[in-house]
Structure 1
Amino acid sequence: MKTILAQIFTWWNGQNLNTRFDTWRHGNKVGTDEIGNVYYEGGKDYEGNPRRWVIYKGYSEASAVPPGWHGWLHHRTDTPPTSDDYKPREWEKSHIPNLTGTPGAYRPKGSVLSTQERPRVTGDYDAWTPGS
């Protein structure tokens, strides 16, 4: 359980106090994913669609939402992944977390942090010189 100060002053660390209160008043729990994020639905948005949101387990990281839940959150489907009727599309990939800032991050050839050597210039490039 987070401290009351963390709930008042942070939005990136799970849910804040206002979100907790709004979820308590209007939220109907729809399900939980394998990571531990909890999904809710309740009320209507400005277009009349059901309002949907996620309470992240730990830090609020949008890339931590699996594909099936992402589709449900963004009204691409009305069937949540916890439903018996849910069938993932054949092109949906399994969830991969955002690896930015970790040793597993993408580093192309030539990157300062990459161990691979940058490809050599082939001669089809003319360097810019001032005044030309």
Structure 2
Amino acid sequence: MKNFLLHTFTWWNNYTIGTLVALRGFKKVGEDEFGNVYYQGGKSSYGLPKRWVVYAGYADASQIPPGWHGWMHHRTDIAPSEEDYKPREWEKTHRPNMTGTAAAYRPQGAIEALGERPRVTGDYDAWTPGN
């Protein structure tokens, strides 16, 4: 019952019943290492095939690996599942956005950063009116 309610009312968590209806007639193209499933079918208004991803869990577009990202955006017609795709050495693995969490990036000197702020070195003179 819980899964039925989740798939009925939440769009951000995996798929909805409406998504399943919309994907009727689409062909499953493949799956990535995160468990995201990719589909293709029909034609867009530009005449290109429609491509769709159903996320495994929370919908986060940054979870699409580089090879699948290129396929989703029509940079290539060959899906990574149809070829022996190897990521390039400069392609980074997915890191979720950590903003708002304890693991968020905090540059040196930020109020939230741990440790002490560096002391002023004397190379700064405060502005005063009339000088």
Distance 2:119 2:46 in 1: 54
Gaps of 5+ in 2: none
Question: In the comparison of the two structures, how many residue pairs are matched?
Answer: 128
Q: Percent identity?
A: 56
Task: Tell me what 1:78 maps to.
Answer: 77
Residue 10 in structure 1 maps to residue 22 in structure 2:
no
Alignment of 1:36-47 (within 5 A): 36-47=35-46
TM-score relative to the length of structure 1: 0.78
Task: Give 4+ residue runs of structure 1 displaced > 3 Å after superposition.
Answer: 85-91, 116-129
- Residue 106 of structure 1: CA displacement? 1.4
Greater gyration radius? 2
- Residue 2 of structure 1: CA displacement? 5.7
- Residue 5 of structure 1: CA displacement? 2.4
Q: Structure 1, residues 52-77: CA drift from partner, whole Å, max 9, x if none?
A: 11111111111111111111111112
- Residue 95 of structure 1: CA displacement? 2.5
Answer whether contact 1:79 1:86 (CA < 8 A) is retained: no
Distance 2:128 2:13 in 1: 47
- Residue 22 of structure 1: CA displacement? 1.4
Residue range with higher mean Cα deviation, 5-14 or 40-49: 5-14
Gaps of 5+ in 1: none
